[in-house]
Amino acid sequence: MQLTEQQRAEFHEKGFLIFPELFTPAEVEVLRDEIRRLGPVETDHIVRERTGGIRTIFRVHEDDGPTQSAPFRALSRSSRLLAPAMQLLGDDDLYIYHSKVNTKVAIEGTVWLWHQDYGYWYWDGVPAPNLVTSTVLLDEATEQNGCLYIVPGSHKLGRQEPYADEETTSYKQWTIERERLVELLDQLPKPVALAGPPGTVAVFHCNVLHASGHNLSPKNRWQIYVVYNQVANRPNDVENPRPDYVRSVNFEPLRIEDDTALRAPLPVEAAGLR
Ligand code: SIN
Ligand code: MN
């Protein structure tokens, strides 16, 4: 999938692009089945809310490890995600920094505080803010079920120094001081709600300010994130690096691959194999 000149200009101006229903309902269902399969796995790659429900399943894009998944691996190498990432980063040699499924369970799923992803990835040793994240909605995302909000143009601010919040949720989150956030959100354009049907994709710059609220609704908000980095921008060594499932050490350049693994096997009859 190739982006137009206009789409590239829009990305550079706003820091994100949205592609409604880029994946079909059948493809989304294959990915949803994978989340159901991975849920019971006992591993530190799965983070829970304080109340017990699953918050995040990390590292679903590889063919090894406890949360490996052939369909999510295919998604991450599909031309629909990988080709735009290559174009936006101006580099054919990308690797996956990490992947995660945020399950934001009905009623229980909690907030993601305002942050820029590169705020902390800088402390992971990543030299430059040359990463993009592609996210695919695997449920209908709404304002009520805690859809993602993205602030247009906020990537142009450059990196704002974050601090670690270990109180608000079960997961340590890097966020920006309240006074600075109020100042920024007062000045910047209104946040855009990433609401829409399953299969919708957004790709956003690693310095874009984003957040999402509590899931107040009776519907889950399942969503996959795949982060692409340039192989040339791999992290420098740091003391006590974070684990591989959040700061991958697989720097092998990705190639666009066939994504038929996203299609459910045909029923025997339809496949003509009576
Ligand atoms: C994130 O920014 O890392 C996740 C936000 C969300 O899933 O709502
Ligand atoms: Mn983020």
What are the pLDDT digits (tens) for 215-254? 999 999 999 999 999 999 999 999 999 999 999 999 999 9
Q: Yes or no: say if 199 and 28 are a contact pair by the CB < 8 Å rule.
A: yes
pLDDT at 57: 98
Going by alpha carbons, the residue nearest to atom 7 of ligand 1 is: 102
Q: Yes or no: say if 148 and 18 are a contact pair by the CB < 8 Å rule.
A: no
Q: Is the CB of 210 under 6 A from ligand 1?
A: yes
Strand order in the sheet with 210-212: 112-115, 210-212, 148-150, 192-194
CA of 236 from ligand 2 middle (Å) equals 21
* pLDDT exceeds cutoff 90 at 193: yes
CA of 56 from ligand 2 middle (Å) equals 12
Q: Mean pLDDT, the chain, as a whole number?
A: 96
pLDDT at 270: 58
What percent of the chain has pLDDT above 70? 96
- Residue pLDDT, tens place only, 70-109: 999 999 999 999 999 999 999 999 999 999 999 999 999 9
Tokens describing residue 160: 């704002």
How large is the C-alpha radius of gyration of the chain? 18
Question: Which residue of 148, 215, 224 sits with most ligand 1 atoms within 8 Å of its CB, as the best mutation to test the pocket?
Answer: 148
* pLDDT exceeds cutoff 80 at 274: no
Minimal CA–CA distance to 189: which of 154, 148, 238? 154
- Residue pLDDT, tens place only, 14-52: 999 999 999 999 999 999 999 999 999 999 999 999 999
Q: Is the pTM of this model over 0.85?
A: yes
CA of 269 from ligand 2 middle (Å) equals 44
Q: Yes or no: say if 98 and 58 are a contact pair by the CB < 8 Å rule.
A: yes
- Residue pLDDT, tens place only, 137-151: 999 999 999 999 999
pLDDT at 1: 86
What atom in ligand 1 is closest to the CA of residue 102?
A: 7
User: Does residue 117 come out as left (phi exceeding 0), alpha (psi in the -120 to 50 range) or beta?
Assistant: alpha
Mean pLDDT of all residues in 47-63: 97
What atom in ligand 1 is closest to the CA of residue 115?
A: 2
